[in-house]
């Protein structure tokens, strides 16, 4: 987790904190942390770093989240990624609440240098990593064990966004906000009208495990005996589907993996694909990434009051200019 996003640091009464109590219950032979950092607070999840919590005085990430999401992350880190032979973050265990809805998930802290898409070596590592993940998991076919992240999933997100945007037309808006929602509605309608073309392009790729939020904040570069390696974490939006969104380029903090490296590795199992195919899929991925972001910004607002819907305006205003650019790249605008 990024150290510059610490929300709070606790150094007193650490042993009484519920994250520490859960950790010691799960790992009774572990050390009591020297301090605790609050890294994230959301409606349904909170993330902490327990400093010096292991025998080797390493940090541990404690995630308080819904049990279904924690089980997904444990399955990916514990069973899927090790099949690739690449470095993987350790999962120390999961402790469920009595009612089973929420739990504590404990993970290795992703120590290492921050990922930068401006560094060609980092982008090369990301391209190599994605291709290896896809080759390994596509061959095993885990579709029945993972959430759906195929194109029908994104189409539903798009239509949900359309419904929310159109619902704002009947609310009192400033001229600026009215123009914003009109633009977004037009972009989304254009994208939906080209959905069959997006499907044709994206389905050049075989389905596999996808991260779903393959962006800078969720990646680290760690030195290993075999040289630098990429580590990916925060798998809560992962699933089984087409890898377009993970291949997104130069948009919204995307990792922008090196597509040439990605293609060269993927060709081991799919020699019919060329760089032009991959670039077209990545262009579709830019649009899917934007749908994701707009969907996250408006999540849970389908039946909200107008005043609550307007809270999404700053985020939508930030992403709107990228939509026509992404559509134009595919000659759809």
Structural tokens at position 182:
């009109």
pLDDT at position 313 is 86
The reported pLDDT for the residue numbered 2 is 40
Identify whether residues 66 and 164 lie together within a single domain: no
Reduced to 3 states (helix: H, G, I; strand: E, B; else coil), residue 278 is: helix
Answer whether 273's CB lies under 8 Å from 267's CB.
yes
Q: What is the CATH number of the domain that holds 169?
A: 3.90.1200.10
What's residue 177's pLDDT?
Answer: 84
pLDDT, tens digit, 9 for 90 and up, residues 24-64: 999 888 888 889 999 988 878 899 999 988 776 788 999 99
What pLDDT score was predicted for residue 178?
84
Give me Rg for the CA atoms of the chain: 21
Instruction: Flag residues of the chain having pLDDT under 50.
Output: 1-4
CB 151, CB 242: distance < 8 Å = yes
Domain end point (choices 111, 138, 165):
111
Q: Are residues 301 and 154 in the same domain?
A: yes
d(CA 280, CA 198): 9
Q: Are 165 and 24 members of one domain? A: no
| Structural domain boundaries, residue 24 | 3-111
| Residues forming beta bridges with residue 228, ordered by sequence position | 223
Which pair of structure tokens corresponds to residue 82?
């090790």
CA gap 146, 211 in Å, rounded: 11
């Amino acid at each position: 987790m990024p150290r510059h996003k610490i929300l709070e640091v606790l150094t007193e009464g650490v042993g009484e904190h519920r994250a520490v109590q859960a950790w010691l219950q799960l790992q009774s032979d572990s050390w009591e942390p020297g301090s605790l950092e609050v890294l994230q607070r959301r409606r349904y999840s909170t993330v902490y770093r327990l400093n010096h919590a292991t025998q080797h005085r390493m940090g541990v990430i404690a995630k308080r989240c819904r049990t279904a999401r924690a089980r997904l992350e444990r399955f990916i880190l514990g069973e899927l990624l090790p099949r690739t032979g690449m470095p993987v973050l350790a999962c120390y265990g999961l402790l469920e609440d009595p009612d089973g809805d929420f739990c504590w998930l404990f993970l290795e802290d992703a120590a290492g240098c921050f990922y930068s898409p401006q560094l060609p070596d980092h982008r090369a590592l990301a391209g190599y990593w994605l291709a290896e993940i896809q080759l390994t998991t596509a061959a095993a076919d885990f579709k029945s064990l993972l959430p759906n992240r195929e194109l029908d999933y994104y189409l539903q997100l798009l239509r949900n966004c359309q419904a929310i945007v159109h619902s704002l037309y009947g609310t009192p808006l400033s001229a600026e906000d009215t123009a914003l929602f009109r633009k977004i509605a037009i972009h989304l309608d254009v994208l939906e009208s080209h959905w069959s073309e997006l499907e044709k392009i994206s389905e050049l790729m075989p389905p596999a495990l996808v991260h779903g939020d393959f962006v800078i904040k969720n990646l680290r570069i760690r030195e290993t005996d075999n040289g630098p390696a990429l580590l990916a974490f925060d798998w809560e939006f992962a699933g089984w589907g087409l890898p377009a969104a993970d291949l997104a380029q130069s948009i919204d903090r995307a990792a922008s993996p090196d597509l040439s490296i990605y293609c060269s590795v993927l060709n081991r199992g799919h020699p019919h694909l060329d760089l032009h195919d991959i670039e077209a899929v990545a262009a579709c991925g830019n649009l899917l990434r934007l749908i994701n972001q707009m969907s996250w910004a408006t999540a849970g607002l389908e039946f909200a009051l107008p005043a609550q819907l307007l809270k999404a305006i700053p985020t939508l205003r930030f992403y709107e200019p990228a939509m026509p650019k992404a559509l134009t790249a595919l000659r759809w605008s």
